Amino acid sequence: MQGCDASVLLDDTSSFTGEKTANPNSGSIRGFDVIDTIKTQVESSCAGIVSCADILAVAARDSVVKLGGPSWTVLLGRRDSTTASLSTANSDIPAPTLNLSSLISSFSNKGFNSREMVALSGSHTIGQARCTTFRDRLYNETDINSSFATSVKSNCPQSGSDNNISPLDTTSPTTFDNIYYKNLRIQKGLLHSDQQLSSGGSTDSIVNTYSSNSATFFTDFANAMVKMGNLSPLTGSNGQIRKNCRKTN
């Protein structure tokens, strides 16, 4: 969580606490087995050369492309952390309950402006969220499409079923497109933080631009992903190239 250094992949041990149990990650982040498979295959071809951090960065790009989204050039040469920070993961990953001003601040703290924040939020055109992260919005907020709320409530009751998941983009959940923004304009944002981007505030115009111009969204998203992949990477002799992404060498 210090940067783009694969710290999130490290498992907890008796003497080490990783980031997998951080509130934003626990029960939510998944696909570690996919990274393990990629790492095994890469190691068999060229051992000790490709870091887990680079694998994550490339896998993110390739996933977006596979689902119909834009491509971008992933800079390589990151090295893997030997540490992780549960506290930083808990404090720095933006919560789904944040209001617009807090979202802007959270991203600004990492060097991203409002437009880049809205572009990166567009990753919610794919993926899913747990009931516990959007229950309050479903049952207590008014800036939500009523038929949309009713349909999602069927999988997220007022109590229990915290880990039931719903797509962040219910219209085209496995296609990387600009429907996420179209949904925000008609109050079909799943998370409170999603709908905040189109709620009469300073980012409405950006949402409108992306909802009507897919190419602009794709370009801005790709550029923001390159920037995010450049967040405090470990290079040179810093860090290491892990043999197993789940543990330090």
Mean pLDDT of the chain: 96
* 227, burial (CB in 10 Å: exposed 0-12, middle 13-18, buried 19+): middle
Name residue, tokens 């008796």. 14
- How far apart are the C-alpha atoms of 97 and 189, rounded to whole Å? 12
Q: Pull the structure tokens for residue 29.
A: 């982040």
Q: Residue 211: what pLDDT?
A: 98
Q: Would you list which residues are annotated within the binding site for heme b? A: 124
Q: Would you list which residues are annotated within the binding site? A: 3, 5, 7, 19, 94, 124-125, 169, 177
Residue 155, pLDDT > 60, answer: yes
pLDDT tens, position by position, 71-121 = 999 999 999 999 999 999 989 999 999 999 999 999 999 999 999 999 999
Q: Residue 2: what pLDDT?
A: 75
Region 53-68: mean pLDDT is: 97
- How far apart are the C-alpha atoms of 150 and 107, rounded to whole Å? 32
Q: Would you list which residues are annotated within the binding site for Ca(2+)? A: 3, 5, 7, 19, 125, 169, 177
Angle (deg, nearest 10), helices 214-229 and 52-66:
170
> Of 26-30, 36-40, 197-201, which gets the smallest average pLDDT?
26-30
Region 200-229: mean pLDDT is: 97
Q: Residue 109: what pLDDT?
A: 95
- How far apart are the C-alpha atoms of 62 and 248, rounded to whole Å? 26
Residue 20, pLDDT > 90, answer: yes
In the structure, what pLDDT confidence band is assigned to residue 245 with cuts at 50, 70 and 90? very high
Using a pLDDT cut of 70, give the percent of the chain over it. Answer: 100
Q: What is the 3-state secondary structure (H, E, C) of the chain?
A: CCCCCCHHHCCCECCECCCCCCCCCCCCCCCHHHHHHHHHHHHHHCCCCCCHHHHHHHHHHHHHHHCCCCCCCCCCCCEECCCCCHHHHHHHCCCCCCCHHHHHHHHHCCCCCHHHHHHHHHHHHCCEEEHHHHHHHHHHCCCCCHHHHHHHHCCCCCCCCCCCEEECCCCCCCCCCCHHHHHHHCCCCCCHHHHHHHCCCCCHHHHHHHHHCHHHHHHHHHHHHHHHHCCCCECCCCCECCCECCECC
For residues 197 and 26, the model is more confident at 197
* 19, burial (CB in 10 Å: exposed 0-12, middle 13-18, buried 19+): buried
Q: Would you list which residues are annotated within the binding site for substrate? A: 94
pLDDT tens, position by position, 168-193 = 999 999 999 999 999 999 999 999 99
In the structure, what pLDDT confidence band is assigned to residue 27 with cuts at 50, 70 and 90? confident
Residue 1, pLDDT > 80, answer: no
